[in-house]
Amino acid sequence: MLDPRLIRNDPDRLAEGVAAKGYEVEVDALVALDVERRRLIAATDELKQQRNSASKQIAELKRADQDASEAIAATRILSDQIKELDDGLSQLQERLDKEMCVLPNLPDPNAPVGASPEENLVVETWGEPPVFDYPLLDHIELATNLGLVDFEAARRIAGTGFSLFTGDGARLVRGLINFMLEHHTGLNGYREVWPPVLVRRECMVGTGQLPKLEDDMYLVEKEDLFLIPTAEVPVTNIHRETILREADLPIAYAAYSVCFRREAGAHGADTRGLIRVHQFDKVELVRFCSPETSEAEHRLMLEHARGILERLGLHFRVVELCTGDLSFAAQRCWDLELWAPASKRWLEVSSCSNFGDFQARRSDIRYRRSSDGKVAYVHTLNASGVAVPRLVVALLESNQTDEGSVIVPEPLRPYMGGTSLLSSLRHG
């Protein structure tokens, strides 16, 4: 949630920032609500002061054994007026909170200005695209031929948009998850957690998925619990409604989880295979830090996420999202995109986002400064470290041989029982 002081102190910045993300806001209406809220607060405070004075007068009259009935009657009238104002203030505050809840985070001043993904900036390209002198198979053909994924069985079980990894495919997924977790905890100092995959509504509001993206979420209606779209949600909410110590910052978590997204707008070729699915595995990185270290922490997380792709030797690029392509909650974001040579496209496998204090305000996550003991909101950041399905797509397509086998990258071989090659011979 945005700092409410923006409404009265800098409404032009609020309007410009929201517009840069492609949203519209009636700033004048918000200003009017805030003005009325402050008027009601002032009026209520004035009446409460009058009631306190009247209460003192009543006490003095009683001590003097004088009639206090008129003063008591006046106090009751004041109490009724205060209750009426409090009720009005409560309703107005609820309305203002709802209006603020649908406002996106403002872009960082350093984020490139643009209206669509076409205006994103390619910051860096790492490695060279693999070169082949033979016809390529796409990941669906490779996974099917090698017995790694049974797409038809998955369709019978759950419908389109789901996958059933089998044999070496299941082992590859498990190996990738273990490899990534051990990399981030062992080399990058993250603390591993294994969070719930069901969360309360207020947790989804806290990280910014609700109310905007509710149609893309899976809801268990009876309990009003949501299946998580990413481990970012439960991990960020570990510290909701708490005050951290500055000495404990930064706090860094790595979490594996299954993720669920309805992908309500998905259609076409992407619904085949592993590129766009409803359920997938992912390792997520989440950090909590002070505002002063936020930018440096953001760049550090990018290095941590890309380290996975570098160790696997995959060709990728770093893309900075323009203002119009930033997510609802992010103020700045870099995407990591893998090259899939048979599909001939770049596939996003990680978004490295800085949310500033936006999520912290919505979730009430604060820290106590060591210097003066005052309380302030932390900054939250997250990055995929990384998502599995598209990683598998790029890995299979980039490491295929002319015989239709797939070379296993060296860092994954210990998790594959020493296997260096996935071939059809291994499946009879």
Query: CA-CA distances (angstroms) from residue 308 to 31, 303, 313?
Result: 47, 9, 9
**β-sheet with 219-220: strand ranges across:** 198-200, 225-227, 219-220
- What is the four-CA torsion angle of 395, 412, 127, 348, rounded to 10 degrees? 50
The structure tokens listed for 409 are 């990258």
**Residue 351 per-residue DSSP state:** E
Distance CA 218, CA 421 (A): 38
Residues assigned a catalytic role: 261, 276, 348, 351, 390
Distance CA 81, CA 48 (A): 10
Do the beta carbons of residue 246 and residue 369 sit within 8 Å? yes
Q: What is the b/e burial string over 109-148, where b = at least 16 CB atoms within 10 angstroms of the residue's CB?
A: eebbebeeeeebeeeeeeeeebeeeeebbbbbbbbeebbb
Q: What are phi and psi of 280, to 5 degrees?
A: -155, 165
Q: How many CB atoms lie within 10 A of CB 275?
A: 19
The answer to whether the CB of 254 falls within 8 A of the CB of 181 is: yes
Backbone angle region of 82, left / alpha / beta, with phi > 0 → left and psi within -120 to 50 → alpha? alpha
| CA dist., res. 405 & res. 56, Å (int) | 89
Name the DSSP class of 248.
Answer: G
